[in-house]
């Protein structure tokens, strides 16, 4: 405001200005007003405000992270999950496993499907968590790398093992010790996610696809190959194909993998880097083959017999979507009871039969077989020992690495 | 703005004979302006200042960001992403031209020839807005599918060989090419072109056409000398309403394009949400804003029209 100096104007000018504002219709046109307000905004913002801003360090949350637990007096838990990630009955109105939980424990579940994308959801909850405020959510489901970031930033609460007897006992061995949360102190998997190669037999027209190399190098697939916009899945599969272990990835390995993908991008081999929307492209045949998520493929196969998948000999990437209790959640104990409930074999089997992702619960197979025999025998839902042994995970990245790697990957995808 | 309202009392005394002006009347304009000004301040000026500040900060998510007047961010951003900038201008420009070419005849038809169908046709123009932008764009993926009838027809009519030669498509497909992105932009922003065109065409007095005819002007001359100049405000505001949002759009290129068609909006989105490099993202946003402002200013100067519908 110091930019405006009324004393510079002569009295007559001031009078004229006032007159024009008050009565002179012509003076107050849209154009002058826009000009004036834009000028004013720039002048106001220009100096003082610029320096005033700044984004505080995200990690250092003020105040206690574990707010008072109101679980005992408020029998409720609010649970944010991804769309179509919990069982729904045929009428589409009831969620059987969640309702059974409420019936047994008296804890009402406020279930919201508001996680559509890890990055977007992070953008949504970041302001509250960074300011040490409640997000209004007691339980959220996030993919490994984002769960790791929240743990690294200290934005999620430690879970009380005494409330999680089933979870502790039944968690599959392959998910027990991720390097970003050893011993599962903060998180438990909701479902596991296979990353495999999927193809549309009709669109392939006899071309054989068994490895990432086939996707990248076979000229007949030009412009009909898809990769995932999840950096760890796309780069991880490429690294495996190159004989490198994503769990020990170095900067050089990473650059080699991106260079390899870049070549395919430059040649026009790769059509797109997609999120979940590859499923429609694959079903239509616009994508002949792509890197894909197992659960999607199980669902696609049910509608379209042309869709099939292959696990490359070099192995595959396995990630999990994890249950986390954010800071300042009001109902931590209720949330822990919900986590534990889904590690009981029957609810876990019901859930697995519906969502078709990898169940993280050991011993579900016989219960699942009672509901759906095919699902119980599908290695994409209940992986056998040999398949489980070929799973790989991306190493936990430091914040600096994450920024650098995501930046390089974004360049690759054109943005 | 507050300084204006609190300015000292009038220094030029009113002539003695006149009665003092009504005090209320003098303040009324400011009160009427207040909601708009507040809105502008809170939702336009403040975010702008915040972004401007972000663009000259350095730091990271974990250590926080501090204002270090790191203006190099602008240069770095421009240096790294000029292809996407150029592409945005090209795609948005092509879409705007296409919108004008498609929209002008339609607006002309609605304004002068539609008669009692006028309202119905207007509803048809606006109707797509009743469904979500995303759904409409996704629908184009089905329409333009590789094996679909549209692409098949274009291919057998050798349209695709022409667009291939122009570099707009690649092989026997339309999806995941620049052509698809430009078509998506054109489709999505067409009503923004038609509506202002229609309003300014509709205001033209029909008797002017008759007069032109009486003076032996051919229909073409009438259009060239009478109709088109009078519709210029509509053309200018239509092109602005199309070009400005189209150049910042990222949905069309995300859904219909490929890695080689990413626009600046995609870069900003990925910098903000994925890489969490807020300064670069903010700098890019400002560069885009500046580029658009410059282009629009030049354009309005050249078109020489004062009022925009």
How would you class A94 by CB atoms within 10 Å of its CB: exposed for 0-12, middle for 13-18, buried for 19 or more? exposed
- Do A325 and A279 lie in a common domain? no
Residues in chain A within 8 Å Cβ distance of B3? 1, 4, 6
Mean pLDDT score, A257-267: 96
Give the chain A residue whose CA is nearest to the CA of B145.
Answer: A286
pLDDT surpasses 60 at A253: yes
Distance, CA of B64 to CA of B57 (rounded, Å): 10
Residues with Cβ < 8 Å from A206, sequence gap 6 or more? none
Residue with tokens 């909850």: A125
What is the least distance, in Å, from the CA of B63 to any CA of chain A? Answer: 5
A360-392 per-position pLDDT tens digit:
999 999 999 999 999 999 999 999 889 989 999
- Do A262 and A300 lie in a common domain? yes
Residue with tokens 């240096």: B79
What is the least distance, in Å, from the CA of A309 to any CA of chain B? Answer: 22
Distance, CA of A184 to CA of A339 (rounded, Å): 12
Instruction: Flag if B267 and A415 touch (Cβ within 8 Å).
Output: yes
pLDDT surpasses 60 at A29: no
B205-227 per-position pLDDT tens digit:
989 999 999 999 999 999 999 99
Instruction: Flag if B269 and A415 touch (Cβ within 8 Å).
Output: yes
Q: Percentage of residues in chain A with pLDDT exceeding 90?
A: 74
CB atoms within 10 A of CB B11: 14
Q: Which of B233, B275, B289 best probes binding to A when mutated, by most A CB atoms within 10 angstroms?
A: B275
- Looking at the domain assignment, is residue A358 inside a domain? yes
Instruction: Flag if B30 and A281 touch (Cβ within 8 Å).
Output: no
pLDDT surpasses 60 at B6: no
- Do A370 and A403 lie in a common domain? no
pLDDT surpasses 60 at B17: no
Mean pLDDT score, A64-72: 75
- Do A227 and A105 lie in a common domain? no
- Looking at the domain assignment, is residue A270 inside a domain? yes
- Helix (H) or strand (E) run with residue A391 in it: strand A391-392
| Nearest in space to B91 (alpha carbons), one of B299, B264, B268 | B264
Q: Which of residues 219-238 of A touch B (CB under 8 A)?
A: 222-224
| Nearest in space to B127 (alpha carbons), one of B63, B202, B84, B191 | B191
- Do A98 and A119 lie in a common domain? yes
Mean pLDDT score, A137-157: 95
- Do A349 and A212 lie in a common domain? no
Residues in chain A within 8 Å Cβ distance of B57? 53-55
Mean pLDDT score, A227-253: 96
Confidence of residue A11 (pLDDT cuts 50, 70, 90): low
Instruction: Flag if B57 and A55 touch (Cβ within 8 Å).
Output: yes
pLDDT surpasses 50 at A6: no
- Do A289 and A339 lie in a common domain? no
All structural domains of chain B with their residue ranges: 2-55, 73-303
Name the least confident of A22-31, A374-383, A396-405, B276-285.
A22-31
Q: Which of residues 311-370 of A touch B (CB under 8 A)?
A: none
A345-362 per-position pLDDT tens digit:
999 999 999 999 999 999
For A414, the closest of B175, B262, B278 (CB atoms) is B262
| A127 in B contact zone (CB under 8 Å) | no
pLDDT surpasses 80 at A60: no
What is the least distance, in Å, from the CA of B130 to any CA of chain A? Answer: 23
On whether the CB atoms of residues B35 and B21 are closer than 8 A, the answer is no
Distance, CA of B278 to CA of A55 (rounded, Å): 10
pLDDT surpasses 80 at A134: yes
Structure tokens at A218: 């076979």
- Do A263 and A301 lie in a common domain? yes
pLDDT surpasses 90 at A397: yes
C-alpha distances (whole Å) from B24 to each of B27, B30, B187 are 6, 11, 50
pLDDT surpasses 50 at B3: no
Structure tokens at B283: 């700098």
Give the chain B residue whose CA is nearest to the CA of A407.
Answer: B275
| A153 in B contact zone (CB under 8 Å) | yes
Distance, CA of A209 to CA of A310 (rounded, Å): 8
- Do A356 and A288 lie in a common domain? no
Number of domains in chain A: 2
Between residues A210 and B25, the one the model is more confident about: A210
Instruction: Flag if A54 and B53 touch (Cβ within 8 Å).
Output: yes
CATH number at residue A185: 3.40.190.10
Mean pLDDT score, A226-253: 96
Residues in chain B within 8 Å Cβ distance of A15? 10-12
Give the mean pLDDT of chain A: 88
For B40, the closest of A11, A37, A54 (CB atoms) is A37
Structure tokens at A309: 């998948």
Q: At what angle do helices B46-55 and B278-303 cross, to 10 degrees?
A: 120
Distance of CA B94 to the CA centre of its chain: 13
Residues in chain A within 8 Å Cβ distance of B59? 55
What is the least distance, in Å, from the CA of A415 to any CA of chain B? Answer: 4
Inter-chain Cβ pairs, chain A and chain B, closer than 8 A:
166
Instruction: Flag if B48 and A223 touch (Cβ within 8 Å).
Output: no
Quote the Cα angle for A370-A375-A376, to 5°.
60
- HSE-CB at B128 with a 13 A cutoff on CA atoms is 14
For B63, the closest of A4, A15, A57 (CB atoms) is A57
- Dihedral (Cα; B257, B260, B263, B264), 10-degree rounding: 150
A316-338 per-position pLDDT tens digit:
999 999 999 999 999 999 999 99
Dihedral sign, Cα of residue B62, residue B68, residue B74, residue B79: negative
Confidence of residue A27 (pLDDT cuts 50, 70, 90): very low
Structure tokens at A287: 């994508």
The answer regarding whether domain B73-303 maps to CATH 1.10.3720.10 reads: yes
B177-203 per-position pLDDT tens digit:
999 999 999 999 999 999 999 999 999
Residues with Cβ < 8 Å from A85, sequence gap 6 or more? A113, A141, A190, A191, A321, A355
Distance of CA A193 to the CA centre of its chain: 12
For A59, the closest of B62, B138, B262 (CB atoms) is B62
Residues in chain B within 8 Å Cβ distance of A20? none
Instruction: Flag if A286 and B146 touch (Cβ within 8 Å).
Output: yes
Mean pLDDT score, A38-51: 54
Mean pLDDT score, A60-66: 52
For A399, the closest of B1, B8, B62 (CB atoms) is B62
On whether the CB atoms of residues A276 and A195 are closer than 8 A, the answer is no
Give the chain A residue whose CA is nearest to the CA of B265.
Answer: A415
On whether the CB atoms of residues A140 and A324 are closer than 8 A, the answer is yes
| A20 in B contact zone (CB under 8 Å) | no
Residues in chain A within 8 Å Cβ distance of B51? none
Structure tokens at A196: 């495999």
- Helix (H) or strand (E) run with residue A351 in it: helix A345-355
What is the least distance, in Å, from the CA of A306 to any CA of chain B? Answer: 15
- Do A234 and A329 lie in a common domain? no
Mean pLDDT score, A124-138: 93
Q: Percentage of residues in chain B with pLDDT exceeding 90?
A: 77
Give the chain B residue whose CA is nearest to the CA of A127.
Answer: B61
On whether the CB atoms of residues A141 and A80 are closer than 8 A, the answer is yes
Q: Give the domain extent around A257.
A: 193-318+399-412
- Do A86 and A128 lie in a common domain? yes
Confidence of residue A415 (pLDDT cuts 50, 70, 90): confident
pLDDT surpasses 80 at B59: yes
* Reported pTM: 0.84
Q: Percentage of residues in chain A with pLDDT exceeding 70?
A: 85
Instruction: Flag if A14 and B176 touch (Cβ within 8 Å).
Output: no
Q: For the CA atoms of chain B, what is the radius of gyration? A: 25
- Do A197 and A312 lie in a common domain? yes
What is the least distance, in Å, from the CA of A283 to any CA of chain B? Answer: 11
**The pLDDT value given to residue B9:** 53
On whether the CB atoms of residues B181 and B252 are closer than 8 A, the answer is yes
Beta-bridge partners for A141: A323
Distance of CA B14 to the CA centre of its chain: 47
Instruction: Flag if B259 and A57 touch (Cβ within 8 Å).
Output: no
Mean pLDDT score, B242-265: 95
Q: Which of B62, B143, B173 best probes binding to A when mutated, by most A CB atoms within 10 angstroms?
A: B62
Residues in chain A within 8 Å Cβ distance of B267? 410, 415
Residues in chain A within 8 Å Cβ distance of B171? 222-223
Between residues B58 and A44, the one the model is more confident about: B58
- Looking at the domain assignment, is residue A10 inside a domain? no
**The pLDDT value given to residue A245:** 95
Residues in chain B within 8 Å Cβ distance of A399? 60-62
Q: Where are the alpha helices (DSSP H) in chain B?
A: 2-5, 23-40, 46-55, 72-108, 118-126, 133-143, 149-156, 159-166, 178-202, 206-214, 219-222, 228-230, 232-248, 251-256, 264-269, 278-303
pLDDT surpasses 60 at B21: no
**The pLDDT value given to residue B129:** 87
């Amino acid at each position: 405001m110091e930019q405006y100096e009324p004393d510079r104007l002569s009295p007559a000018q001031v009078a004229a200005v006032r007159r024009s504002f008050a009565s002179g219709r012509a003076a107050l046109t849209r154009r002058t007003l826009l000009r004036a307000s834009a000028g004013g905004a720039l002048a106001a913002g220009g100096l003082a405000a610029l320096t005033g801003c700044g984004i505080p360090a995200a990690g250092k949350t003020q105040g206690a992270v574990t707010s008072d637990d109101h679980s005992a007096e408020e029998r409720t838990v609010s649970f944010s999950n991804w769309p179509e990630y919990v069982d729904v009955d045929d009428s589409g109105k009831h969620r059987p496993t969640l309702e059974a939980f409420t019936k047994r424990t008296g804890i009402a579940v406020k279930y919201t499907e508001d996680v559509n994308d890890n990055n977007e959801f992070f953008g949504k909850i970041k302001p509250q968590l960074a300011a040490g405020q409640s997000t209004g959510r007691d339980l959220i489901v996030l993919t490994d790398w984002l769960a790791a970031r929240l743990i690294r930033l200290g934005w999620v609460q430690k879970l009380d093992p005494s409330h999680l007897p089933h979870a502790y006992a039944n968690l599959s061995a392959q998910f027990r010790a991720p390097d970003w949360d050893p011993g599962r102190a903060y998180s438990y998997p909701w479902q596991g996610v296979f990353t495999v190669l999927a193809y549309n037999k009709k669109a392939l027209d006899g071309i054989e696809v068994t490895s990432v190399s086939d996707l990248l190098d076979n000229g007949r697939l030009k412009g009909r190959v898809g990769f995932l916009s999840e950096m760890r899945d796309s780069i991880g599969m490429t690294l495996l194909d190159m004989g490198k272990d994503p769990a020990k990835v170095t900067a050089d390995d990473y650059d080699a993998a991106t260079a390899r993908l870049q070549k395919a991008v430059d040649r026009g081999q790769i059509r797109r880097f997609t999120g979940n929307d590859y499923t429609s492209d694959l079903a239509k045949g616009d994508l002949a083959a792509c890197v894909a998520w197992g659960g999607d493929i199980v669902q696609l196969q049910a509608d379209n017999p042309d869709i099939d998948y292959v696990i490359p000999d070099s192995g595959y990437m396995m990630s999990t979507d994890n249950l986390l209790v954010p800071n300042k959640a009001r109902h931590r104990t209720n949330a822990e009871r919900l986590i534990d409930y889904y590690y009981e074999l029957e609810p876990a089997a019901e859930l697995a039969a519906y969502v078709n992702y990898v169940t993280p619960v050991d011993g579900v197979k016989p219960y699942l077989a009672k509901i759906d025999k095919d699902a119980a025998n599908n290695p994409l839902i209940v992986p056998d020992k040999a398949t489980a042994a070929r799973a790989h995970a991306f190493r936990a990245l430091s914040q600096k690495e994450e920024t650098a790697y995501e930046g390089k990957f974004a360049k690759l995808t054109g943005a | 703005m507050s300084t204006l309202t609190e300015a000292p009392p009038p220094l030029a005394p009113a002539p003695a004979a006149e009665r003092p002006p009504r005090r209320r009347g003098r303040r009324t304009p400011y009160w009427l302006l207040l909601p708009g000004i507040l809105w502008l301040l809170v939702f336009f000026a403040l975010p702008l200042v915040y972004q401007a500040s972000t663009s000259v900060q350095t730091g990271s998510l974990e250590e926080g960001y501090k204002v270090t007047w790191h203006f190099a961010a602008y240069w770095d951003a421009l240096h790294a992403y000029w292809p996407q900038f150029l592409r945005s201008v090209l795609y948005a420009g092509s879409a705007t031209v296409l919108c004008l070419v498609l929209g002008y005849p339609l607006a002309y038809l609605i304004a002068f020839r539609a008669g009692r169908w006028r309202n119905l046709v207007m509803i048809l123009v606006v109707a797509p807005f009743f469904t979500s932008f995303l759904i409409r764009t996704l629908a184009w993926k089905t329409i333009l599918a590789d094996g679909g009838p549209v692409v098949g027809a274009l291919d057998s009519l050798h349209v695709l060989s022409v667009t291939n030669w122009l570099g707009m498509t690649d092989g026997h497909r339309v999806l995941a090419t620049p052509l698809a992105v430009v078509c998506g932009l054109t489709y999505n922003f067409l009503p923004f072109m038609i509506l202002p065109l229609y309003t300014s065409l509709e205001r033209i007095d029909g008797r002017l056409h008759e007069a032109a005819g009486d003076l032996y002007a051919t229909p073409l001359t009438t259009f060239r000398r009478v109709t088109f100049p009078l519709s210029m405000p509509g053309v200018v505001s239509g092109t602005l309403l199309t070009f400005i949002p189209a150049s910042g759009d990222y949905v069309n290129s995300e859904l219909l394009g490929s890695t080689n068609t990413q626009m600046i909006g995609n870069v900003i989105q990925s910098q903000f949400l994925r890489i969490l490099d807020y300064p670069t993202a903010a700098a890019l946003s400002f560069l885009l804003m500046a580029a658009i402002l410059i282009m629009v200013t030049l354009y309005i100067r050249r078109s020489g029209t004062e009022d925009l519908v």
